[in-house]
Amino acid sequence: MKSFIKKNKYTVSTFVITFLFMMIAFAVIGLYPFGKNQIMVIDSWHQYYPFLQELHSKLQSGGSLFYAWDMGMGSNFLLVMAYYAFSPLYALSILFPKEYLREFMMLATALKIALAGTFFSIYLKHLFKREDYTITGFGLLYAFCGYAMGYYWDIMWLDAVALLPLIILGLNHIIEGKGFKLYVIALAIALISNFYIGFFICEFILIYYFIVYFSRIKKFEFNHFVKRSFEIALYSFIAVGLAAIVLIPTYDGLMLSQAVNGSKPTSFKTYFSILEILNNLLPGTKPTVKSGLPNIFSSFLALYMVAVYFMSNKIKIKEKVLYLGLIVFFILSFNINYLNYIWHAFHFPNEVPYRFAFMFSFVILTMAYKGFQYFETITKKQIGFISAGFLIYLVINERLGMTDMVLYVSLGALALYTILFMLHKYKKVRQKAYVILFAILILGESLFSAILGTATTGSSGRSSYPFLGDEVKAAVADVYEKDPGFYRMDMIKQYSTNDPALYGYRGVSMFSSTVNSNISKFLKTIGLAASPESNRYIYAASTPVVNSMINLKYLIGRDKMGTENNAGYNVFSQNDRVTVYENKYPLSIGFRVDYATYNWNNNMVNPFDVQEDFLKSAIGKEYDLFTNVPISSENYVNMERTQLSNDMRYSYKNLDASQVGNAILFFNAPETKQMYLFMYANRSYKTKVTINETTVEYETRRGMTIDLGVLEKGTEIKLEFEVQVAKDGYFNLQAVTFDEALWQDAYANLADEQLNVTSFSDTKIKGNINALGDGFIYTSIPYEPGWTVKVDGEKVLIEPLKNAMIAVDVEAGYHEIEFSYVPNGFSSGLIITLVSLIGFILLIRFTPKERERDVLIEANVKADDLIELDEVKEAIDAEELDDMIIYEGNNQGELQSELQEQIRESEDEQGVPIEDVDLSEIEKLNKE
């Protein structure tokens, strides 16, 4: 280990410093154990942590990675993993107790960012043949670029960010004729860890290959170009093939998501001015966390050295033109809707824009490091010209609205770097002091970026997450102990958008980019808070009809949520903070219905009508369970109601379109009965419901049914909501009473032909049913290809109801039923992966040993750019060789090692002084 660290001290240093800086930044914002906060914010609060917790549970219990019942009534967990949780680092979570899983997430984030910097250092080390502190410094700049600091809460993206330098290093190796293993392995891991960001990398390779090839080729030869292009294509296909075990089932699963139905650009559009985008390169710019400009900050040093890159006459014009074109293309991609759409896999992302921007920082830092190699070749006058150019740019932009923080930080960085460079050029500072000051500036930029990024992203409270977590989990465990059957439970009112995964129970709610949109559409029609466009469906206490349709047997109420007097449920258990209610009318995960249910009309606007029509179709009898309760009075501020249609759609216009509007409406219970309310407003997010001086706020922006409980005759119901600034809009609103006696008759007709579940696991359900007549078994198992159903041992055709729920035809009589699941595409993906693996091994075995370097490919560091011999002598005399900045040379690393070896030999037991070192061999090396 000591020899490894000594041999790789600069890359190891990158890892240690990056990890330390991230811990310092996390301490600044008070993350536990440095404070009382936790790392989860935004979607990591709602999604990434609950999904990590589900993975952690499966790893510790040995559960299947194919399917999870704790997500959205049952979900393809392999698909969820492919987007959120296939990071190789997550395997380490098994070592952490569940109560410290949040701290593991913090450590995993820091580790990924540290690996990003380390891998960038390795990339520089091998591409530029450097082994000194500069690869550490630029590795830090990559690790703390604006993308990593703005989007580190999107932890699942960081693996690909970290692997990009290794992939591009591997790409260079193939072009040089030096091997393909690194490229194939790194690209395959990137695609497995996150197929989405992996797709961006594949797009980037398609472009960047030509940039690298033509910037490094000495003399174009068509046959050579075709050969290298073929090799890149072949090795890319092998990498994709190695990842096929994940990619194929992922692709099949995504075909059911809303992503395939996203909007397309219909006309040319730009987002920002070019100046706004360029200003985001400057230090002091707060990173974009959810929406805004692209995160492209890469350090002020990078900007300065890019200027050196273009000014140096040591870099060919051809290369400069190619890289300038790439930079321009990226900037256009950030600003033109068509290019943005293509980059994002032919899809417009929902917030968190420009998810490919980390590749821009990679290119900028690569150019900057190349420019840094030639820094000694530019003159004092050129340094003055570069600094003056930056100063003029900052002064002009200050008058155009640049923030004070960005201006002052940029001016400070410009002044410090200019002074240091001038002192160095005028030899007013010793080499060792110059190196130390240079390192301090890089460390300062990196730490400042880390702290600014974490402070901008923020944190959340640890002690309150999840709300009543221990109490709810204890209540869930109690229910499962007392009732070990298969059923679902969920919250009376949501806490997060993934409560089942967060608290650990078989539930209904789910929010994920991978959500099956057919399920969202289905649940939306029956009155749940669902939105295919927003990739979610969220449960809140609903009608007995809905609860029975989705196999919901228990409901959890926190802090007095729920009503003890309710037609749908009774109290099951209760303590000071958590109440568990039991559905009075539970139905199994499957029950027989009439064939007419295939023609059930679920396209009506009114969810109560949809539920009644389901019963009519399923049983063959009409049930008027719900009776409309009209509004008793309505009051509006800056709103005028203009129309009422379908008994529930109210249109309005704002009197002043530049101001918000407010509505207050009242209902009165016509008799002592159970009541429900459905509310949706196209320009409103939340609705307050007040009954007997108790007010509860609901998120109704996607529409939802609200359970009001059994209300005494004459009870007043007050409804309040605010509408957004707009000219007009509408809201769907209906209050109803519920006839429990009629429902009992309907329930009896459904309950006598239920599927009796005899055993179940993550991927299997077995049971039996005694069908009293011909029909089909309606199940609340979300349909997707991959499910297999056997009736009496024979595989049968699945005919999904409304393309959402599994339905299986049965004849009258007793039947044994078995449901089993393997993700669709997994078998074919496994075969492709195995074939690719065999092909990869054969290529390694039978490919001739690679040449040291392709004669047609120019080295990134050329021999004629070695340091002058007198500089070497001066460094030796000053005993500062280890601290010396040695500029380009294709054998620079070897030269430095040779020099160091001679110095060590000169200081052996015989006491030979440094001055007596024989420089003839060094001069010979220099000439070679």
Answer left, alpha or beta for residue 379, where phi above 0 means left and psi between -120 and 50 means alpha: beta
Give the pLDDT of residue 201.
97
Contacts with 709 (C-beta within 8 Å, 6 or more apart), sequence order = 563, 565, 566, 674, 675
CA distances from 561 to 491, 614, 725 (A): 9, 29, 32
The Cα–Cα gap between 569 and 556 comes to 11
Instruction: Please count the helices (runs of H) and the strands (runs of E) in the chain.
Output: 31, 30
CB 99 within 8 Å of CB 528: no
Which contiguous run of DSSP H or E holds residue 810? Answer: strand 805-810
What is the full DSSP assignment across 502-529?
A: HHTS--S-EE-TT-BHHHHHHHHHTT-E
Structure tokens at 725: 């600034």
The Cα–Cα gap between 153 and 48 comes to 9
The Cα–Cα gap between 248 and 76 comes to 13
Give the pLDDT of residue 180.
95
- 257 burial (CB, 10 Å; 0-12 / 13-18 / 19+) is buried
CB 688 within 8 Å of CB 694: no
List the 805-810 sheet strands across, edge first. Answer: 590-593, 775-782, 805-810
Give the pLDDT of residue 870.
41
Q: Which of 567, 569, 543 is nearest to 557 (CA)?
A: 569
- 570 burial (CB, 10 Å; 0-12 / 13-18 / 19+) is exposed
Outline where DSSP puts E strands in 847-927.
none
- Owner of token pair 């159970």: 674
CB 289 within 8 Å of CB 150: yes
The Cα–Cα gap between 195 and 351 comes to 19
The Cα–Cα gap between 488 and 550 comes to 8
Give the pLDDT of residue 680.
93
Q: Which of 815, 819, 816, 799 is nearest to 807 (CA)?
A: 799
DSSP structural state of residue 259? G
Contacts with 318 (C-beta within 8 Å, 6 or more apart), sequence order = 214, 215
The Cα–Cα gap between 336 and 326 comes to 15
Give the pLDDT of residue 859.
80
DSSP structural state of residue 46? I
Intervals of the chain under pLDDT 70: 849-853, 861-928
Instruction: Name the β-bridge partners of 790.
Output: 795, 818
Contacts with 208 (C-beta within 8 Å, 6 or more apart), sequence order = 168, 171, 326, 363
The total of other beta-carbon atoms located within 10 Å of residue 919's CB is 14
CA distances from 254 to 82, 269, 648, 833 (A): 11, 28, 35, 20
- 624 burial (CB, 10 Å; 0-12 / 13-18 / 19+) is exposed
Give the pLDDT of residue 260.
76
Answer left, alpha or beta for residue 213, where phi above 0 means left and psi between -120 and 50 means alpha: alpha
CB 721 within 8 Å of CB 664: no
Instruction: Name the β-bridge partners of 220.
Output: none
Outline where DSSP puts E strands in 616-715.
626-629, 633-637, 639-645, 649-654, 661-668, 673-681, 686-691, 694-699, 704-711
Contacts with 250 (C-beta within 8 Å, 6 or more apart), sequence order = 78, 79, 82, 83, 195, 825
3-state SS string for 207-249: HHHHHHHHHHECCCCHHHHHHHHHHHHHHHHHHHHHCHHHHHH
Structure tokens at 515: 């959500």
Longest dimension (CA), the chain: 109
CA distances from 278 to 281, 357, 393, 448 (A): 6, 13, 11, 20
Structure tokens at 736: 């109803």
First to last CA, the chain: 34
The Cα–Cα gap between 645 and 18 comes to 61
Q: Which of 13, 238, 272, 246 is nearest to 122 (CA)?
A: 13
CB 311 within 8 Å of CB 374: no
Q: Are strands 661-668 and 633-637 parallel, antiparallel or unpaired?
A: antiparallel
Give the pLDDT of residue 643.
81
Say what the pTM is.
Answer: 0.88
Size of the chain in residues: 928
Structure tokens at 176: 């040089």
Question: Percent helix, strand, coil in the chain (nearest 5)?
Answer: 50, 20, 30
DSSP-based three-state secondary structure for 382: helix
Residue 541 CB-half CA count within 13 A: 30
Q: Give the distance from CA 515 to its chain's centroid.
A: 14
Phi, psi of 466 (to 5 degrees): -75, 160
The total of other beta-carbon atoms located within 10 Å of residue 751's CB is 14
To 5 degrees, how large is the angle CA 841–CA 846–CA 850? 105
Which contiguous run of DSSP H or E holds residue 590? Answer: strand 590-593
